[in-house]
Amino acid sequence: MRSLKSRLISFYIALGIFIALFITLILFLTFLPNIQIWITSLLTLLTLAFGIFATIMFFNYNSQKNVNKDLIEENKYNLHRESVFYNYNTFVSKISSNWEKVNSQDGYVIAFSCLRNNGSLNNSADRASELNGVVSDYICDLFAENKPDYKDYIYCYNRGTFIISAICNENRLNSLIAEIESNIYRIAKENDFRLYIQPYFGVYARKAYDTRQIHEMIACASLSREIAERNFETIVMFNNSMLENKAKEEIEEISNAIDRQEFVVYYQAKYCLTTKRFNSSEALVRWNSPEHGLVSPMKFIDKAENGGLIHKIDMFVFEQVCKDLNESKRKGRRLLPVSVNFSLYEFYGQNFIDDIINTMEKYNIPPSLIQLEITEGTTGVNTFLSIAIIKKIREYGIKVLMDDFGVGYSNFNNLKNMPFDAIKIDKSFIDNIVEDEKSRQIVKFMIEFIKETGMEAIAEGVDNQNQVDILKRFRLDTIQGFFYSRPIPYNEYEALLANNNFEKKGLKI
Ligand code: C2E
Ligand code: CA
Ligand code: CA
């Protein structure tokens, strides 16, 4: 603001001077018609005007410079000191350019934190972040750019952990860690943070021409730091077995959860825009863990797939759905079809169809109450096989839905050949249809295409009225989203079907 004002003032002053000079010139011309006097006066006036103008510009420039200086000072003061630290991306790109030059030398990625992560930090979070701020200052000083000894050291602060890349030998690494460790204790003592300080270091030794990507090395160093903390060891060097062990531990945890029957099934209703009634639902698994609480499938489905446990989980979900439907039937409640997710890996399993049919028979569930959702990825792997399996499933009267349409491998061409009953347009397309004309046009085109091909068009992740209005205009068939219902336990889902505002007559939804 100040700089704009001062610029305006100088502009007006210069303009005033020019007007004054101009009037004076006219007066001269009128009263002194002699040409020589006229030229001399004109030159004098011009020199004068330029002199004044230059003086004004000079002061203006200086005041501008002061403003900039003030701003920089102010920013320096306001910015949190952590921002002086490199951010993660800069860190990674700086490491790569550093290592390119010295590919054959020893190098290390060190991850460390000053406090135990699993302690209860809730009451001392401010003090912990203040401590990390002071330690950041210390690291900045330690690796200051004018220190030639440390020119190959780069640092960043990422997710509560300091990460350092060092090109040095093992002796130097050990003395560096010892130095940082003693300084963390010193800093904590001097500042009286009253926190339980306990630095742990995880170290990844980068070999010459290492094939691991930098972010993998950082992850390895962080994992070693975690293990150091767990085992109360100050320094832990990474080794490959740690990765296997970690994956093993996670798989074991999921496997135990299956045995202990900790998985539960939630239901999310789908609403048909033409009949203005709920027409089905999707079964979504959750892990009700005594240790972690209700865990989202996003956190464990991938791991279960990699560990070969997904079939167990999916069959558990499928059986639970059959049980729930059977129970509703017994109680004479309203029955709607339920769609169940299946993953790529089990789809080609030999007994897949038999397992499904047997379970349905066990609970006396007609095929009209069951739908299968498979993702595009599943069908992309082997189109011929997919077509054959889907056809076989449909011969039993079970509907097959393509999940997450639009992301991944699918294209409109192979959609035409796949014998699906319905296509679910992925949430990512729906997210922007209110604000973004392009997304709207894409979704409109998708709906038209799906319907022309004789399939039901379903939109996922619809959570507001504006989206509903647009999709209705595009003649979409069915909506699944938080707007109508979140995924809920079966008893709540039953209650929703028995009584809700969306299906009441006369209500415009
Ligand atoms: P999905 O099959 O695409 O399931 C839909 C997901 O979108 C669900 O997340 C649901 O809660 C969420 N969703 C629905 N409407 C809205 C909305 O309006 N707004 C927002 N923000 N989200 C909405 P959820 O339950 O976390 O499931 C995530 C994914 O986990 C599923 O995506 C599916 O790929 C997988 N999954 C869930 N249950 C199973 C299962 O039993 N077996 C297998 N193999 N995968 C499962
Ligand atoms: Ca799904
Ligand atoms: Ca989906």
3-state DSSP of 204-272: EEECCCCCCCHHHHHHHHHHHHHHHHHCCCCEEECCCHHHHHHHHHHHHHHHHHHHCCCEEEEEEEEEE
Tell me the two tokens of residue 368. 């009209």
Q: Give the ligand at the shortest distance from the Cα of 283.
A: 1
- Kindly state the average pLDDT of the residues 36-44: 74
Confidence of residue 335 (pLDDT cuts 50, 70, 90): very high
Report long-range pairs for 448-456 (Cβ below 8 Å, ≥24 apart). 448/474, 449/412, 449/415, 450/405, 450/415, 450/423, 450/425, 451/475, 451/477, 453/415, 453/416, 455/420, 455/421, 455/422, 455/423, 456/421, 456/422, 456/423
Position with higher pLDDT, 78 vs 30: 30
Segment among 67-76, 203-212, 312-321, 358-367 with least mean pLDDT: 67-76
Residue of higher predicted confidence among 115 and 464: 464
- Whose C-alpha lies nearest to ligand 1, atom 19? 461
Residue 409 near residue 377, CB atoms below 8 Å: yes
pLDDT in tens, 357-416: 999 999 999 999 999 998 765 555 456 667 788 888 999 999 999 998 887 656 676 677
Closest CA to 479 of 340, 280, 286, 341: 280
The pLDDT value given to residue 430:
96
User: Is it the case that residue 485 has pLDDT exceeding 90?
Assistant: yes
Distance CA 350, CA 355 (A): 9
pLDDT at 58: 65
Beta strands in 48-152 (DSSP E): 107-115
C-alpha 423 – ligand 3 centre gap (Å): 10
Q: How far apart are CA 419 and CA 340, in angstroms?
A: 18
pLDDT digit string (tens) for 191-228? 887 778 889 999 999 988 888 888 889 889 999 998 88
Output the CA 426–ligand 3 centroid distance in Å: 6
Local structure of 282: helix, strand or coil: strand
- Using alpha carbons, list the distances in angstroms from residue 57 to 46, 226, 242: 16, 61, 67
pLDDT at 509: 45
Q: Greater confidence, 20 or 240?
A: 240
CA-nearest residue for atom 11, ligand 1, is 487
Q: What is the CA(423)–ligand 2 centre distance, in A? A: 11
Here the tokens at position 30 are: 């009128």
Residue 118 has pLDDT above 60, yes or no: no
Q: Residue 7: its pLDDT value, please?
A: 57
Task: Looking at the CA of 270, name the nearest ligand.
Answer: 1
In the structure, what pLDDT confidence band is assigned to residue 29 with cuts at 50, 70 and 90?
confident
Measured in Å, residue 480 CA sits from the centre of ligand 3 at 10
Note the ligand closest to the C-alpha atom of 303.
1
Question: Per-residue pLDDT averaged across 2-20, rounded?
Answer: 64
Q: What distance in Å separates the CA atoms of residue 294 and residue 273, rounded to the nearest whole number?
A: 32
Distance 364 CA to ligand 2 centre (A): 24
478 CA to middle of ligand 3, Å? 14
What does the CA dihedral 258, 259, 264, 270 come to, rounded to 10 degrees?
50
C-alpha 422 to ligand 3 mean position (Å): 12
Q: What is the pTM of this model?
A: 0.64
Which tokens sit at 447?
Answer: 């709906």
Q: Which long-range contacts (CB under 8 A, 24 or more apart) does 51-56 make?
A: 52/14, 52/17, 53/14, 53/17, 56/10, 56/13, 56/14
Nearest Cα neighbor of 155 from 147, 145, 166, 146 is: 166
Pocket test for ligand 1, best of 317, 319, 341 (most atoms within 8 A of CB): 341
User: What band does 346 get if pLDDT is binned at 50, 70 and 90?
Assistant: low
Among protein residues, the one whose CA lies closest to atom 43 of ligand 1: 341
Give the count of alpha carbons within 13 A of 387, CB side only.
8
pLDDT of residue 215: 84
Those residues whose C-beta lies under 8 Å from the C-beta of residue 273, and which sit 6 or more positions away, are 471, 472, 476, 477, 478, 479
CB atoms under 10 Å from CB of 42, counted, come to: 14
The reported pLDDT for the residue numbered 62 is 52
pLDDT at residue 468 is higher than 70: yes
Residue nearest to ligand 1 atom 8, measured at CA: 284
Q: Which of 143-147, 244-248, 330-334, 382-386 has the lowest mean pLDDT?
A: 382-386
Can you give the pLDDT at residue 32? Answer: 67
Mean pLDDT of 17-27: 76
Closest CA to 128 of 136, 176, 202, 140: 136
- Reported in sequence order, the residue ranges of 60-124 that DSSP labels E, i.e. its strands, are 107-115
Amino acid at the residue 174: N
**Rounded to an integer, what is the distance from CA 226 to the centroid of its chain?**
23
Closest ligand 1 atom to residue 266 Cα is 25
d(CA 443, CA 476): 10
Which residue, 90, 108, 14, is CA-closest to 55?
14
Residue carrying structure tokens 């979070």: 125
From the alpha carbon of 487, which atom of ligand 1 is closest?
11
Determine the distance separating the centroid of ligand 1 and the alpha carbon of 272, expressed in angstroms: 19
Adjacent-strand bridge partners of 156: 86, 163
> How high is the pLDDT of residue 41?
72
Q: Which among 254, 253, 361 is positioned nearest to 301, based on CA atoms?
A: 254
Q: Is 479 exposed, middle or buried (0-12, 13-18, 19+ CB in 10 A)?
A: buried
Q: Which ligand is nearest to the CA of 461?
A: 1
76 — pLDDT class (breaks 50, 70, 90): very low
Cα distance between residue 217 and residue 18, in whole Å: 68
243: which 2 tokens? 């990765």
Compute, in angstroms, the gap from residue 232 CA to the centroid of ligand 3: 43
Q: Which residue type occupies 344?
A: L
The binding-site residues of ligand 1, defined as CB within 6 angstroms of any ligand atom, are: 268, 284-285, 296-298, 301, 310, 314, 317, 341, 343, 403-404, 460-463, 480-482, 487
User: Ligand 1, atom 30: nearest CA belongs to which residue?
Assistant: 297
pLDDT score at 279? 97
For residues 68-90, average pLDDT: 48
**Which residue has tokens 């039901």?**
456
335 against 309, higher pLDDT:
335
Q: How many angstroms separate the first and last alpha carbons of the chain?
A: 51
Indicate if the pLDDT at residue 60 is higher than 60: no
Pick the ligand that lies closest to the CA of residue 285.
1
DSSP notation for 139-181: HHHHT-TT-GGGTTEEEEEETTEEEEEE---HHHHHHHHHHHH
Given a cut of 80, whether residue 425 has pLDDT beyond it is yes
β-strand partners of 183: none
